[in-house]
Amino acid sequence: MMPEDDRPCSSSLDAMPDDAVGALCVLASGSRGNCSVLVVPDGGTRRVLLLDAGLSPKRTQRLLADHGIELWEIDAVLFTHLDTDHAHLGWARRRRFDAPLYVHAAHRGRADRLGITCHRTELFRERFTLFDRIDIEPALLSHDALGVCAFRISIRDAGPNRVAQLGFATDVGRPSEALINHVHGCDVLGIESNYCPRMQLSSPRPEFLKRRIMGGAGHLSNQECLKVVEQASPRSHVVLLHLSQQCNDPAIVRGLHQHAAYETTISSQHAPTPWVWLHAQAKPQPRPIVRTQPLLWAEH
């Protein structure tokens, strides 16, 4: 197990290629906290978005500083859902933080109870646009009682009909046609690969927790993740999220994707990933409706 001190990321934001329109880094991902940062150059400045804020403000500030990003630069926080490993309670008490918090309307009640509903909270149900060039398309999927929001984020290039697309889906419960169609054909896909079924079943975890995780409203297994990725057809890169420290092994996950045409990055609870560049492509045609082949979530 890695120590609590975070290792520095092995790539630098300064190395972003000139033709990249965005960069993604997973600061940490796992049951102890989830937070990713998306940086989008915008003229002579840049836009900084957090995808979930499940780390303490102090730790987030330290990790961002390692990349030359100050906390005040954050322009928005997009929450997939409000479990405390995705929405750290420290942010509710952070007074000197003015970035708007984007929360799905289905999670309004929980946001109220956590104390993060305030003048800077923005509720959404449908697609919305940030900074005139970043389109956020949400989809509410199965996870526990309130569901989880998967994002399809489109970054428009200055050139005509060119866009980079990031799919981001974690804690999605089960593979589904809704999930696959939502993230189909993205240039970069961030998706959870939470557990190895054999390790989960043989673990000392209580049976109710195993049923919650594996029962279709918890997390994706490694095999479920792989099947979703195969049918979602990402163009260039897959970032694997939320690996269980107790019931998974990065070597197993890496082996499942080793012969794929896309590049892979495996996130960690203890160390940021390298930056993953988003390159604009010719604007894709309307997404096809994918009818899934039999999925593996019932195999457990």
Gap between the Cα atoms of 62 and 75, Å rounded = 17
Q: Is the dihedral of CA 240, 245, 247, 249 positive or negative?
A: positive
> When comparing pLDDT for 223 and 216, which is higher?
223
Q: Which residue reads 């994707």 in tokens?
A: 257
pLDDT at 8 over 60: no
As a dihedral over the C-alpha atoms of residue 154, residue 31, residue 276, residue 260, rounded to 10 degrees, the angle is -90
pLDDT at 115 over 90: no
* Mean pLDDT value of segment 228-241: 97
Least confident of 19-33, 115-129, 176-190: 115-129
**97-133 burial: b if 16+ Cβ within 10 Å, else e:** bebebbbbebbeebbeebebbeeebeeeeeeeebeeb
Encoded tokens for 4: 């609590």
pLDDT of the residue at 230: 96
pLDDT at 289 over 70: no
pLDDT at 197 over 60: yes
pLDDT at 168 over 60: yes
* Mean pLDDT value of segment 169-194: 95
pLDDT at 7 over 60: no
- pLDDT, tens only, 139-150: 999 776 688 999
> When comparing pLDDT for 203 and 119, which is higher?
203
* Mean pLDDT value of segment 172-191: 95
> When comparing pLDDT for 2 and 40, which is higher?
40
Residues 6+ apart with CB under 8 A from 93: 115
pLDDT of the residue at 284: 63
Q: How far is the first Cα of the chain from the last one, in angstroms, to the nearest whole number?
A: 27
pLDDT of the residue at 265: 98
Stretch (H or E) spanning 221: none
Supply the mean pLDDT for the chain: 89
Please report which confidence band the pLDDT of residue 177 belongs to, taking 50, 70 and 90 as the band edges.
very high
Please report which confidence band the pLDDT of residue 218 belongs to, taking 50, 70 and 90 as the band edges.
confident
* Mean pLDDT value of segment 272-296: 73
- CA angle, 252 then 256 then 261, to 5°: 140
pLDDT at 231 over 70: yes
**Residue 32 in contact with residue 268, Cβ under 8 Å?**
no
- pLDDT, tens only, 56-99: 999 999 999 999 999 999 999 999 999 999 999 888 877 778 89
Please report which confidence band the pLDDT of residue 290 belongs to, taking 50, 70 and 90 as the band edges.
low
134-141 and 101-104: which strand pairing? unpaired
pLDDT of the residue at 119: 67
* Mean pLDDT value of segment 221-230: 96
pLDDT at 252 over 50: yes
Coil vs helix vs strand at 200: helix
pLDDT of the residue at 1: 34
Q: Single out the residue of 265, 30, 34, 46 nearest to residue 166, CA to CA.
A: 265
pLDDT of the residue at 295: 47
Domains of the chain (ranges; CATH) run 19-299 (3.60.15.10)
* Mean pLDDT value of segment 157-174: 89
Burial grade of 212 (CB within 10 A; 0-12, 13-18, 19 or more) = middle
Q: Single out the residue of 139, 191, 192, 136 nearest to residue 165, CA to CA.
A: 136
